[in-house]
């Protein structure tokens, strides 16, 4: 059988990867199959043979010479359904072939079949050695994951009130990490009550995560969720990497892509999800090569796949809490007690938006006050009035995106306007929009509500006049606080906490403007003092720094105690 058969409840539309069958489930030609064979071995299996199961790590790649394979989605009750039926000259797998995370699906022989089996290490070598085959496979694996996400397949069910902070926290973590899930809103969806009753859980325990074949998780931390879903990498404390990149924003991911592609043993440590602050941007329109724009999450997702394809490891949901700079190799302690060692380190932990100095702000964080403006947050604001606080490009991009969904949007800035801080193309669009009002010299002075935020008062500092409006969502995009607390004196910081590099840090012998006061420790992107806070500049710094890392490693070839 040569065609993929989709499950009956999948409707294919123009944006659906399942409608692009020739790309999502491509067939390799005879010559390509012969080249794949050189990396694997042929095997015959009988009908019903399980090739790999959901929850397994580092599974093999299978190319079908004859016969067919069923791709199964497991249900929470232990049942399974066929997502796709793959036939001759097609291959198994999705994005987890590139990493050590747990599989999302099970593969089973639908009939007696003859296969080419490529073990995972050989698969990675093949992807590097055969770029034309690698391109076809990579595109297919990405599209398959997009299909899972679009249709809520092969993932988990999240049950909880959609506006609650913890529901949003879990949904945001799953979304930003590209993990398929389906949200059941307990405030409005009658299915939620039925599911809560069937699962025998208390409604006060919401939100909950229902993973197939595992116990229900009642309001887990993001680390607990990552562990249960198998998103966490298991790190060998005795292993020493050439390069450790701390932070997976654009700068960190660029460092990982270039370091791994140039043969350096690379690991990336990320506390939440790839993309950093840029990953929360709804649309970046002035990034080179994307004339129609690209979302920060999409850009980060592509970079993540790129880094992993070249062999970089990506450890998410683990924060770096400290670093030992008095020894070589450097050793970073993570918040779960694991340690990671590397001969060189790139600090790319970026910056975060500053929190407002408002009474009650902690009470409404995540349930009224947001620090990201993606499609997920936009769904909460349909036909409502909202506020964006901030005058930088991130604020402008958020305003333009949200204005497509909301009734009206208010931009609040403390200065006299936007010209000093925002790109001209965004200013022009804001000025032309009938749904956006700019309030200069204005700041929020009070917020209130019951369960969720529902009233906001802002004050014009020039006139002293205040206005109170029924508004339930504020998007805070003000200032930048560097994520450098974990460095505990390892490198020199400026008075604002950003990392000093190059001549600023007193590094006179190095030719790299990104080297810090600690030899072999480099800083790139928004965390670096004096950097241009733009995605493109972060990517540039992250790629260029790899040359300096090579030079440093030549000088310090072995790990020795200082």
CATH dotted code for 17-151: 2.60.120.10
| Interval 299-342: pLDDT, tens | 999 999 999 999 999 999 889 999 999 888 999 999 989 999 99
How many other CB atoms are found less than 10 A from the CB of residue 542? Answer: 29
| Interval 93-136: pLDDT, tens | 999 999 999 999 999 999 999 999 999 999 999 999 999 999 99
Is 361-476 in the same CATH topology as 17-151? no
According to CATH, the superfamily of the domain at 156-226 is Glutaredoxin (3.40.30.10)
Q: Are 517 and 492 in contact (CB under 8 A)?
A: yes
Six-digit token string for 211: 């993973």
Cα–Cα distance, 358 to 324 (Å, whole number) = 37
Task: Name the maximum alpha-carbon separation found in the chain.
Answer: 81
361-476: CATH class: alpha beta
Which pLDDT does position 7 carry in this prediction? 47
| Interval 61-105: pLDDT, tens | 999 999 999 999 987 666 789 999 999 999 999 999 999 999 999
Which pLDDT does position 75 carry in this prediction? 75
Helix (H) or strand (E) holding 294: none
| Interval 476-506: pLDDT, tens | 999 889 999 999 899 999 999 999 999 888 8
Alpha helices by DSSP H, 269-388: 296-309, 361-364, 375-378
Instruction: Name the pairing type of β-strands 369-370 and 474-476.
Output: parallel
* HEC assignment per residue over 221-277: CHHHHHHHHCCCCCCCCCCEEEEEEECCCHHHHHHHHHHHHCCCCEEEECCCCCCHH
- Using DSSP, state whether 24 is helix, strand or coil: helix
Average predicted confidence (pLDDT) for the chain: 92
Out of 3.50.50.60, 3.40.50.10210, 3.40.50.1110, 3.40.50.1000, select the CATH number for domain 240-352+482-555: 3.50.50.60
Kindly list the domain boundaries of the chain, sorted by start residue.
17-151, 156-226, 240-352+482-555, 361-476
**CB-based burial label for 424 (10 Å; 0-12, 13-18, 19+):** exposed
């Amino acid at each position: 059988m040569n065609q993929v058969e989709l499950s009956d409840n999948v409707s294919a539309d123009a944006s659906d990867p399942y409608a692009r069958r020739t790309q999502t489930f491509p067939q390799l030609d005879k010559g390509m199959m012969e080249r794949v064979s050189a990396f694997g071995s042929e095997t015959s299996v009988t009908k019903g043979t399980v090739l790999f199961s959901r929850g397994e790590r580092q599974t093999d790649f299978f190319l079908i010479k004859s016969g067919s394979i069923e791709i199964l989605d497991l249900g929470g009750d232990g049942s399974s359904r066929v997502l796709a039926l793959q036939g001759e000259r097609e291959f198994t797998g999705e994005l987890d072939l590139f990493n050590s995370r747990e599989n999302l699906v099970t593969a089973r022989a639908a009939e007696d079949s003859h296969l080419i089996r490529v073990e995972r290490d050989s698969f990675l070598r093949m992807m590097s050695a055969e770029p034309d085959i690698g391109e076809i496979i990579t595109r297919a694996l990405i599209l398959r994951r997009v299909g899972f996400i679009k249709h809520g397949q092969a993932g988990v069910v999240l049950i909880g009130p959609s506006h609650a902070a913890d529901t949003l926290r879990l949904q945001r973590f799953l979304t930003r990490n590209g993990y398929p899930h389906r949200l059941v809103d307990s405030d409005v969806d009658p299915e939620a009550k039925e599911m809560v009753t069937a699962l025998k859980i208390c409604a006060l325990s919401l939100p909950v995560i229902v993973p197939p074949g595992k116990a229900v998780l009642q309001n887990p931390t993001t680390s607990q969720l990552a562990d249960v879903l198998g998103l966490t990498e298991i790190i060998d404390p005795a292993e020493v990497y050439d390069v450790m990149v701390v932070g997976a924003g654009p700068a960190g991911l660029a460092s990982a892509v270039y370091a791994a592609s140039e043969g350096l043993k690379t690991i990336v440590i990320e506390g939440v999800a790839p993309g950093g602050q840029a990953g929360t941007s709804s649309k970046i329109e002035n990034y080179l090569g994307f004339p129609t724009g690209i979302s920060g999450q999409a850009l980060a997702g592509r970079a993540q796949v790129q880094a992993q394809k070249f062999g970089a490891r990506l450890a998410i949901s683990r924060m770096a809490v400290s670093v030992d700079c008095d020894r070589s190799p450097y050793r970073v302690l993570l918040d779960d007690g694991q340690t990671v060692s590397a001969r060189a380190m790139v600090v790319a932990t970026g910056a975060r938006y500053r929190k407002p100095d408002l009474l009650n702000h902690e009470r409404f964080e995540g349930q009224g006050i947001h620090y990201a403006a993606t499609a997920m947050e936009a769904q909460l604001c349909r036909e409502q009035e909202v506020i964006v606080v901030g005058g930088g490009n991130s604020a402008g991009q958020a305003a333009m995106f949200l204005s497509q969904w909301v009734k009206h949007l208010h931009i609040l800035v403390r200065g006299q306007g936007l010209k000093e801080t925002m790109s001209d193309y965004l200013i022009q669009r804001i000025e032309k929009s009938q749904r956006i009002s700019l309030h200069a010299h204005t700041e929020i002075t009070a917020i209130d509500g019951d369960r969720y935020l529902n009233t906001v008062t802002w004050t014009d500092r020039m006139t002293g006049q205040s206005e109170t409006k029924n508004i339930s969502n504020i998007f805070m995009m003000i200032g930048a606080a560097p994520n450098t607390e974990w460095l505990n004196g390892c490198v020199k910081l400026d008075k604002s906490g950003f990392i000093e590099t190059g001549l600023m840090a007193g590094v006179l012998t190095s030719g790299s403007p990104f080297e810090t006061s600690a030899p072999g420790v480099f800083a790139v992107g928004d965390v670096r003092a004096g950097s241009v806070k733009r995605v493109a500049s972060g990517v540039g710094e992250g790629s260029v720094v790899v040359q300096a890392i090579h030079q440093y490693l030549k000088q310090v070839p072995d790990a020795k105690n200082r």
